[in-house]
Structure 1
Amino acid sequence: MDESRFRAGFVAILGLPNVGKSTLLNAFLGERLSIVTPRAQTTQRRLLGICSGPSHQAVFIDTPGLLEPRDPLQKSMRAEAMSTLDDADVVLAVVDVGFGPSIEWVDSFPAPADRPALLCLNKVDRISPAEGERLAAGWSGRGWAGVHRTSADRGEGVQRMLDAIVDLLPESPPLYPVDELSDAPVRDFVAEMIRETCLEELSEEVPYAVAIRVEQFRERGGGRPTYIEARVFVERESQKGIVVGAGGRMIRKIGMRSREKIERFLDRRVYLELRVKVLPNWRRKTNHLRLLGFRVPSEET
């Protein structure tokens, strides 16, 4: 590794909910690091994904979708997303070209003047090539260092996008060990996999009232599976009944599917124990948000 020519830096990924930011991060890394579901607001906290090559290290910051906050949780999510701009060497704004509000958002989000910014037109498989060219031409030369078209879930245009990002990074030695994929502890990924399963299995508003905290994570010798105990927090008793399900069927299903994901991630056997607890109105109470590990904006303290 020739560190005199090495490029490294932070890349903030911003955009509205459900435009494909997490899918794009996973495509850059070649690993399923960030959880992905069809539901909006799947990402609640920023996540670092480290993409290292022979001459570069791009540290991507996947952020919650930008939206007008309605409660302290959403204020925390927006503050988490916007705080990434303080650290970013490059800004990557992601647009879902098939979603009108996303296009309107980027029109009101000018390219930052103090650092390079790229515009990613994602999900171009949903529009015609001619429409993609028209949109790209419309934003070209408006302060963006480049406008790129991708279909992240298909991998189309992802490598070209990554090459353009690397070209904009400052010369620097690696910021993290080159064999790491993230700075987040394993517990965080385990909690996110359980939350992802809740988002997939539960209906209506219930999944958004779910928060996960890993209470115990113990490696056990003698060929025994790793023991993981996690709390599934909800806001009301009625939601607890839905998560548990008749005869405990739903929580067993969530536990089984979560365990399969965690075992693939850890590449070892796991014994997963889930407990459901009511934490009243946790999305609206700053002390509960802190308990669950969310950053609370200063105006909320």
Structure 2
Amino acid sequence: MNIVHATDHDAGGFRAGFVAILGLPNVGKSTLLNAFLGERLSIVTPRAQTTQRRLLGIHSDSAHQAIFIDTPGLLKPRYTLHRSMREEALSALSDADVAVVVVDAGFGPSVDWAGEFAASIHVPKLLCLNKVDRIDVGRLEEIERALACGGWESVHGTCATQGQGVGELLEAVLSRLPESPPLYPVDELSDAPVRDFAAEMIRETCLEELSEEVPYAVAIRIEQFRERGGDRPVYIEAVVYVERESQKGIVVGGGGSMIRRIGTRSRGKIERFLGRRVFLELRVKVLANWRKKTHHLRVLGFRVPEEEN
């Protein structure tokens, strides 16, 4: 992890540290990160397993710096990519100074999982009962009683999509960070390069536009990212990888209709993110069974599970 130590703060009185955001798939972890930052940094779709790699989002104020780590959902792995995603999440916990465990308050298995997972966390841990707008007060009290023995520092009901309860949870996180000078420049929002965000916006659009299993077989690789002078648009060339020829046909669409739609919508997202014009060129290629092959995962920039190195 590339840490840049800022030099314009003393450690005295300032608090800074890493905060892992953990939970099952589709409980609202990425939405919560975006709400903490007040920026749409992490992609969000209704599909489970949207987040594939951990992403750092940095909140800084006059007395605190929280480096939030958005993680893939902790699911039972079925193939190598899933094992990679699980390792990403668990490695975030091993790096963390504070953990925020996110539960979908209306989804029983998510509540049960949190009760079981609590014992494996050995840093200050806060429980976030998200999506409380979907349950009544009586059910919320039942959940709080069921999870009361988890050793939580505090319990917070939130609706991350509306910002409900997010400010109180953020204050609780900041107060539990260790004393430290800032670990990153205080004007940064993330340590990830801009090209990574462009790739994620393309993948988000694929998740939104494609149906069935196809979007889960998609990986994005940025081949070129060139910022050009004057009024010339940023030039981005990206490859959309799929696992089978039949999937390639679906992504391309009749007469190229689908890939044009994906390109148009992705370009709009990237332009809003960068605040300038973009020329986006997409190509579709087959990389057979990339989710199950460690060398393909490595080429695509994923963490390779330790047992498979």
Common topology (TM > 0.5): yes
Give the shorter-chain TM-score range. over 0.9
> Which whole-Å CA distance do the structure 1 matches of 2:221 and 2:175 have between them?
39
Equivalent position of 2:294 in the other structure: 286
SS at match of 2:53: coil
Matches within 5 A, 1:78-93: 78-93=86-101
Shift in alpha-carbon separation, 1:255–1:137, aligned structure 2, 3 A: same
Equivalent position of 1:297 in the other structure: 305
Equivalent position of 2:169 in the other structure: 161
Equivalent position of 2:249 in the other structure: 241
Kept after mapping to 1: 8 A contact 2:115/2:150: no
| Cα deviation, residue 137, structure 1 | 3.3
SS at match of 1:39: coil
For these two proteins, the number of residue pairs brought into alignment is 301
| Cα deviation, residue 70, structure 1 | 0.6
Kept after mapping to 2: 8 A contact 1:225/1:268: yes
| Cα deviation, residue 141, structure 1 | 4.6
- Counting aligned pairs with the same residue, the percent is 73
Kept after mapping to 1: 8 A contact 2:111/2:143: no
> Which whole-Å CA distance do the structure 2 matches of 1:36 and 1:209 have between them?
17
More off after superposition, 277-286 vs 213-222: 213-222
Structure 1 spans left out of the alignment, 5+ residues: none
RMSD: 1.1
SS at match of 1:239: helix
User: Given the alignment of the two structures, is residue 194 of structure 1 paired with residue 208 of structure 2, yes or no?
Assistant: no
SS at match of 1:110: helix
Equivalent position of 1:76 in the other structure: 84
> Which whole-Å CA distance do the structure 2 matches of 1:109 and 1:223 have between them?
52
SS at match of 1:108: helix
Q: 2:238 aligns with which of 230, 233, 242?
A: 230
Structure 2 spans left out of the alignment, 5+ residues: 1-8
> Which whole-Å CA distance do the structure 2 matches of 1:292 and 1:243 have between them?
19
Write out per-residue CA displacement over residues 80-117 of structure 1, whole angstroms, 9 at most, x where no aligned residue.
Answer: 11011211000111100111211121121124563111
> Which whole-Å CA distance do the structure 1 matches of 2:80 and 2:150 have between them?
34
Equivalent position of 1:172 in the other structure: 180
Equivalent position of 1:59 in the other structure: 67
Kept after mapping to 2: 8 A contact 1:136/1:148: no
Query: TM-score by structure 1 length?
Result: 0.98
> Which whole-Å CA distance do the structure 2 matches of 1:44 and 1:211 have between them?
10
> Which whole-Å CA distance do the structure 2 matches of 1:187 and 1:87 have between them?
25
Query: TM-score by structure 2 length?
Result: 0.95
> Which whole-Å CA distance do the structure 1 matches of 2:10 and 2:230 have between them?
44
User: Given the alignment of the two structures, is residue 219 of structure 1 paired with residue 227 of structure 2, yes or no?
Assistant: yes
Q: 2:36 aligns with which of 28, 33, 37?
A: 28
> Which whole-Å CA distance do the structure 1 matches of 2:121 and 2:233 have between them?
52
> Which whole-Å CA distance do the structure 2 matches of 1:141 and 1:8 have between them?
28
Equivalent position of 2:53 in the other structure: 45
SS at match of 1:18: coil
